Chain A
Amino acid sequence: MAKRIVILGGGTGGTLTANRLRRSFFEEDAEVIVVDQNDDHVYQPGLLFVPFGLARADELVRPRHDQLHKGIRFHQVPIDRVDIKEDQVFLADGTVLGYDVLIVASGSRLEADETEGLTGPGWRENVFTFYDLAGAAALHDALEAFDGGKVVVNVVDLPIKCPVAPLEFCFLADWYFGQRGIRDKVDLSYVTPLDGAFTKPVASRRLAGLLEEKGVSLITEFNTGEVDGAGGRLISYDEREILFDLAVIVPLHSGATYVSNSPGLGDELGFVAVDEHTLQAVAKENIFAIGDAAGVPTSKAGSVTHFEGEVLVENVRRFLAGEPLDATYDGHANCFIETGFGKALLIDFNYDTEPLPGHFPTSVGLPLLKESRLNHLGKLMFQSLYWHSLLPGRDLPGMGSAMPRRGKVTSGVR
């Protein structure tokens, strides 16, 4: 009898996993089912460009079911909860789906309401986020109407999707206001709960240097407790205040609601604890998680999800065959950081190796941790690769799952 593999979430992780699984198994051996509450697949890396008029919100969305290959069933319905003891998923329409293997790929959710005042007076007037489509589009209108004043970009707390995106927003804002000839009328600051511009030391120093070069003030160890839109103030828990005319906030993130409603499945924030090398859930051996939904100590990013996909699919095969799992996912992440003026930086790292300078993937490749036009073109090209190579579950040219060590300068870097 065919085994049933149920994938919760039809975003980056769910789609590429479903397509890879479909290729790995004959239909008579495994049934692949994807469940998602809606049919809108958003190209999330594009959200950053919408506020600056460099992308249009409607161009970033395609139907989820169109990205799934033949032989994959797509259910469009909200997920209520999972019973991990009985191996069953309860859907909002009353359907109960039994499974042999469950893959949690439902990403993360913005929790703007968890921060006092954030969605109160001023929300979408002088307080915005670009982390969803509607917010990015609303911010575009607000930026067009903005003619000077204090702009703050604030990350409330980690984890967040794409931890470099708020920095990229600052770099692009510097470029954007310059293009409009009002850069001297805009006071830009980046406000973070971290003790530096980024989590990892070498990249943190380089990125802090870039902020300084572009005239963006860096305010660290600021834990936002309240956003007062009417008064134009960010207020920290230790009662510091930062004034703004326009605030761009990255809200708190959690896992999908159904994860928190499923006893034993998620952690305090609704992410699924997994073995960081096999992606098998700590909760039960027939559950796996991929992408933003997984609680692993690396960035929540599309590249991570892509690299995880290869290991995950192999492990689902091994699990069903009763073989020992492959523990080779190394935390590999690879991110283009748009810096404005048609340039970008590239960082490449894993659990053990922080982002370092050098070249990727070998010594003749793209420059790492250094602004270049080539990296910007790489970032632009990625949108097409996303729909045509990454989601179909193909390996990208010259890029394996494991982080390449060749090309990186590993000693004497400060």
Chain B
Amino acid sequence: MPTAIYAGVNVTVNDEGFFEIPDEWTEAMAPEIARAEGIDGLTEPHWQVIKFMRAEYAEKGTGPTVRILGKTSGVSIKELYQLFPKGPAKEAAKIAGIPKPRGCI
């Protein structure tokens, strides 16, 4: 399993860079992961989404889809794409240190 170093700490990630063990994540790591994704400087709305992703993961065992984020996070889908241009569900999950959302079948 590949590893990465964020905020000076070694963490386990999958081959796409998603955390395998969400407990290894700390808030201090988020800005570094975001920078690697091309997002310089996390704003308050970014943090709102990141915290929402972690809460959803803790409750349901998977990150929410974009549609559910738009319905329940308090941020519209258009704004979510402005915050996380590569796709909010995946990019926010990566920055929030949770595994890649399973999505639906």
Residues in chain A within 8 A of chain B (CB atoms)? 157-159, 163, 194, 199-200, 221, 223, 225, 237-238, 252, 268-269, 297-299
List residues 31-80 of chain B with CB under 8 A from any CB of chain A.
64-68, 71-72, 77-78, 80
Given contacts A237-B81, A238-B81, contact A268 B87 (CB under 8 A): no
Are A159 and B104 in contact (CB-based, < 8 A)?
Answer: yes
Complex Cα gap A199–B87 (Å): 18
Are A159 and B87 in contact (CB-based, < 8 A)?
Answer: no
Are B87 and A158 in contact (CB-based, < 8 A)?
Answer: no
Complex Cα gap A252–B66 (Å): 12
User: Of A163, A194, A221, A298, which is within 8 A of B87 by CB?
Assistant: A221
Task: Judge whether B1 is part of the interface by a CB distance below 8 angstroms.
Answer: no
User: Of B68, B85, B102, B103, which is within 8 A of A268 by CB?
Assistant: B68
Given contacts A238-B87, A268-B72, contact A199 B66 (CB under 8 A): no
Complex Cα gap A298–B86 (Å): 27
Residues from chain A with Cβ under 8 Å of B71 in the complex: 268-269
Complex Cα gap A158–B105 (Å): 7
The distance from the CB of A1 to the nearest CB of chain B, in whole angstroms, is: 39
Are A298 and B77 in contact (CB-based, < 8 A)?
Answer: no
Are B103 and A223 in contact (CB-based, < 8 A)?
Answer: no
Are B68 and A269 in contact (CB-based, < 8 A)?
Answer: yes
Which 5 A-B pairs give the minimum distances between C-beta atoms? A158-B104, A159-B104, A237-B81, A199-B105, A268-B68
Are A158 and B77 in contact (CB-based, < 8 A)?
Answer: no
Residues from chain B with Cβ under 8 Å of A225 in the complex: 77-78, 81
Complex Cα gap A370–B43 (Å): 51
Contacts A/B (CB < 8 Å), 21 sampled: A157-B65, A157-B66, A157-B67, A158-B105, A159-B105, A163-B105, A199-B103, A199-B105, A221-B87, A223-B87, A225-B81, A237-B78, A237-B81, A238-B81, A238-B87, A268-B72, A269-B68, A269-B71, A297-B104, A298-B105, A299-B105
